[in-house]
Amino acid sequence: MSSYTPSKIGADGYHGITDIQTRPLPDTVECQNVKSLPAIDVSKLKITLAKELKPLPELGPLTFGNVMSDHMLVLSYDPFTGWSDPEIRPYGGLNIEPASSCFQYSTNLFEGMKAYLGPDGKPRLFRPDMNMARMSRSATRAALPNFDGEALQILIKKLVAVDQRWIPSEPGYSLYVRPTMIGTRVGFGVAASQHAVLVVLLSPSGPYFPKSLATPRRRAWTTLLASATSIRAWPGGTGEYKLALNYTPCFAPQKDAEKQGYSQILWLLPVETPKGKQWKVTECGQMNFWIVLKRDDDGIELVTPILDGTILPGVTRDSLLQLGAQHNKGSPLPGLSPDLQITAREDTFYMSDILRWEQEGRLLEAFGSGTAAILAGVWKVGWEGRDIIFGTTMDDLLKGGEEDVNGLGPIGKALYERIVAIQLGKVEGHPWSVPCE
């Protein structure tokens, strides 16, 4: 894998463009009506291609988010002049002052998307409208400038088309798309940033959980430590938005979980109920959490925590709810009998419920979902000094000779195969797979 050195900074910023407007803006200034300021104008897109293209990395050692493509999309916002003309230019640094609010007060947000190659060889995105809508909500919550999501979506498609050669065609690989907005107001005043830079980066991505070297047909299972000491998000906070400040506080608890032999945290929230204090289940690691339960009639319940303001409304999460609900409505999941009754629902549940379901023998599977991993099987959850085991063992899963898919059981695997088929454009005419034309 080759390394990449950014081009040198010029007198007015990388590639001859100043990325931020440093004109001072008083905290109390009354700016002109934002509706009269220029919005993102796709027709003014400038494309500056790299003079030399980087060699593509080897896929074997490829790890998530460590390699960037040749180009990036950059535009900035000024409260006096609105959005700048967008530019696709060679990947490199940004000229940002160290006193900017993104460094001082974490006025940063981002999105996570993926681009795939379809059967026709054309790149496509998966439900980009949902990412744009969520990014807009995050910008509003962080008091950052808002934007035209449809225009940004068009620009992202153009960027992906420019760097199409970076989309791996091998199964399990894709091109990760990271739109990011940072506040660039200069000064220590504790106030919203009315200046911003919006940048979109592309990174080739392999399986989030690589195959085990000891047992080639296995990939690492996710093991969770249920946390009763650290809280990821709380009512009225920012848990439902994709803000950078939500992620940093999770790193130290995860290190503690790893020291105890677990890979991620199952985030809990203490709540008072008529039955006393309960530990409400929210998310796992940076993923939405799912449980598969056996019903009394031998049907299946596919359950994820309800959106209560503390949980990120994941694009994959929404997709799985819809795919699960469609199983008995003419679109059965691959590998499952269409007669298997599946109920997909959102609900509030607690650790006490998981313990009860374990005693009743109803716990079949558990997994996390998100853009990076898509689905990741959960083997066990550590709670109060013991492990709660979900479903079957890895050895049982592999008895049939098939390679396991991220440690998933039958329901998780069926959902994974269906959503990947849609992402790759193999389900003809599906509205979730959007070509980059």
pLDDT digits (tens, 9 = 90+) for 123-182: 999 999 999 999 999 999 999 999 999 999 999 999 999 999 999 988 888 999 999 999
Spell out a b/e string for 382-414, using b for 16 or more CB atoms within 10 Å of the CB, else e.
Answer: bbeeeebebbeebeebeeeeeebbbbbbbbbbb
Amino acid at 391: G
pLDDT grade for 437, boundaries at 50, 70 and 90: confident
End-to-end C-alpha distance for the chain, whole angstroms = 30
DSSP three-state, residue 397? helix
Which pLDDT score is estimated for 109?
Answer: 98
C-beta separation of 354 from 388 below 8 A = yes
pLDDT tens, residue by residue, 373-400: 899 999 899 999 999 998 655 455 445 5
Domain definitions of the chain by residue range: 14-205, 222-430
Which of these, 182, 180, 111, 106, lies nearest to 144 by C-alpha position?
182
Lowest mean pLDDT among 26-35, 142-151, 155-164, 346-355: 26-35
pLDDT grade for 15, boundaries at 50, 70 and 90: very low
pLDDT tens, residue by residue, 37-85: 889 999 999 999 999 999 999 887 787 878 999 999 999 999 999 999 9
Residue that is written with structure tokens 């790890």 in the block:
63
C-beta separation of 87 from 45 below 8 A = yes
CATH T-level assignment (fold) for domain 14-205: D-amino Acid Aminotransferase; Chain A, domain 1 (3.30.470)
Sorted by sequence, the CB contacts under 8 Å of residue 52 that are 6+ apart come out as none
* Same fold flag, 14-205 and 222-430: no
The Cα 87–Cα 94 span in angstroms is: 13
C-beta separation of 128 from 230 below 8 A = no
- If you average pLDDT over every residue of the chain, what do you get? 87
Residue that is written with structure tokens 């007015």 in the block:
12
DSSP three-state, residue 74? strand
Spell out a b/e string for 252-272, using b for 16 or more CB atoms within 10 Å of the CB, else e.
Answer: ebbeebeeeebbbbbbbbeee
Q: Alpha carbon of 121 to those of 54, 104, 125, 304, 430: distances in Å?
A: 21, 44, 13, 35, 17
The Cα 255–Cα 247 span in angstroms is: 13
Pick the CATH number of 222-430 from 3.40.50.620, 3.30.1360.170, 3.20.10.10, 3.40.228.10: 3.20.10.10
Q: pTM of the prediction?
A: 0.88
Which pLDDT score is estimated for 403?
Answer: 53
Rounding to the nearest 10 degrees, give the CA dihedral for residues 120, 123, 126, 128.
-140
Which of these, 224, 267, 260, 214, lies nearest to 390 by C-alpha position?
224
C-beta separation of 201 from 93 below 8 A = no
